[in-house]
């Protein structure tokens, strides 16, 4: 059996968490990632019949029964993942009852998955109904997007429109816009349920005054999605206090969306 530390999915998690920490998105133990894996690939590295221990999921994840995930751990620092992935990451399978996560590798210090695990799994369930190829849910605290929460209206249309105006690529990268939740207590099923509801329409959901959730087909795509939103927020924060002489017009955004053949939120533009 192959060494799991050489697997593509562990290598990707090591690189992604390192980049997110380097960019300042995931201070201390802030942020978490869940990545749905292909069963055949997992079997190249692990005996899936050997369950180290079972951990309650905290809700019924029956739609994901039999699915495999690699997940960051609760209380773990992204800065430590690359040096010690076996302590800071875990590979698990959702049991047939949907109530249990079966740990197959990792969390060797006795730890368990992120406290936001229910939110992640609920979002996976929601996104898979929209896009069967969705595999990643990523939560982080991007600095400029978080700062923008304090000075910009937390209205989905207005926030999306402002971010679309910041970079030419924005309407192409996140044409479905930005979902927004009011401040809610994190680590609860309630915020997970609210996030999953938003994930039916958006791949990016802002947790007001906290951070952001992003979803995508791969770690690269999801990282790039949040990276683009954060870049737009940075440009906004650099220019918001200055008189604006130029901007990307809504009619030009339409041209961009049509050129790249993306399905965009027409109701988020002002075309009258």
Last residue within a domain, chosen from 51, 79, 113: 113
Question: Cβ(78)–Cβ(20) under 8 Å?
Answer: yes
Residues 94 and 157 in one domain: no
Q: What is the mean pLDDT of residues 158-167?
A: 98
Question: Confidence class of residue 142 from pLDDT cuts 50, 70 and 90?
Answer: very high
Mean pLDDT of 33-55: 97
User: Domain holding 4: CATH number?
Assistant: 3.40.225.10
pLDDT of residue 241: 95
Structure confidence by residue, pLDDT tens digits, 58-114: 999 999 999 999 999 999 999 999 999 999 999 999 999 999 999 999 999 999 999
Q: Is 244 helix (H, G, I), strand (E, B) or coil?
A: coil
Q: Encode pLDDT of 119-138 as tens digits.
A: 999 999 999 999 999 999 99
Name the H helices within the chain.
Answer: 8-22, 39-43, 85-88, 117-130, 143-149, 156-166, 170-173, 189-199, 219-239, 250-259
The answer on 201 and 175 residing in a single domain is: yes
Q: What residues make up the domain containing 143? A: 116-272
pLDDT at 1 over 90: no
**Cα(162)–Cα(154) distance, integer angstroms:** 11
**For residues 51 and 106, is the Cβ–Cβ distance under 8 A?**
no
User: What is the per-residue pLDDT for 19?
Assistant: 97
Residue 272: pLDDT above 90?
A: no
pLDDT score recorded for residue 73: 96
Model pLDDT, residue 168: 96
Same domain, 138 and 269: yes
Alpha carbon distance 9, 67 (integer Å):
15
- Interval 204-257: pLDDT, tens: 999 999 999 999 999 999 999 999 999 999 999 999 999 999 999 999 999 999
Q: pTM to 2 decimals?
A: 0.95
Are 133 and 27 contained in the same domain? Answer: no
- The pLDDT assigned to 42 comes to 97
The mean per-residue pLDDT over the stretch 40-66 comes to: 96
Question: Out of 12, 116, 156, 165, which one is annotated catalytic?
Answer: 116
Residues 137 and 256 in one domain: yes
Q: Which of 113, 129, 146 is the last residue of a domain?
A: 113
Among candidate residues 87, 113, 139, the one where a domain is terminated: 113
* Helix, strand or coil, per DSSP, at residue 158: helix
Summarize the confidence of residues 18-46 as an average pLDDT: 96
Q: Respond yes or no: is residue 116 known to be catalytic.
A: yes
Q: Could you give the number of structural domains in the chain? A: 2
């Amino acid at each position: 059996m192959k060494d799991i530390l050489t697997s593509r999915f562990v290598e990707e998690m090591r690189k992604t968490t390192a980049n997110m920490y380097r960019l300042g998105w995931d201070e201390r133990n802030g942020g978490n990632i869940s990545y749905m894996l292909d069963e055949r690939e997992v079997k190249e590295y692990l005996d899936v019949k050997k369950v180290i221990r079972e951990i309650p999921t905290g809700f019924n994840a029956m739609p994901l029964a039999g699915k495999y995930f690699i997940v960051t751990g609760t209380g773990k620092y992204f800065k430590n993942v690359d040096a010690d992935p076996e302590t800071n990451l875990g590979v698990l399978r959702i049991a047939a009852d949907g109530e249990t996560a079966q740990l197959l590798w990792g969390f060797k210090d006795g730890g368990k998955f992120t406290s936001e695990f229910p939110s992640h799994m609920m979002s996976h369930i929601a996104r898979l109904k929209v896009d069967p190829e969705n595999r990643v849910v990523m939560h982080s605290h991007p600095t400029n997007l978080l700062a923008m929460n304090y000075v910009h209206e937390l209205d989905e249309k207005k926030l999306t429109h402002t971010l679309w105006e910041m970079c030419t690529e924005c309407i192409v990268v996140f044409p479905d816009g930005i979902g927004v939740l009011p401040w809610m207590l994190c680590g609860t099923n309630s915020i997970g349920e609210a996030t999953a509801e938003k994930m039916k329409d958006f791949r990016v959901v802002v947790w007001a005054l906290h951070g952001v959730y992003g979803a995508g087909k791969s770690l690269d795509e999801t990282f790039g999605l949040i990276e683009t939103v954060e870049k737009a927020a940075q440009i906004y924060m650099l220019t918001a206090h200055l008189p604006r002489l130029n901007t990307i017009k809504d009619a030009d955004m339409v041209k961009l969306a049509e050129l790249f053949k993306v399905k965009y939120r027409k109701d988020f533009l002002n075309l009258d």
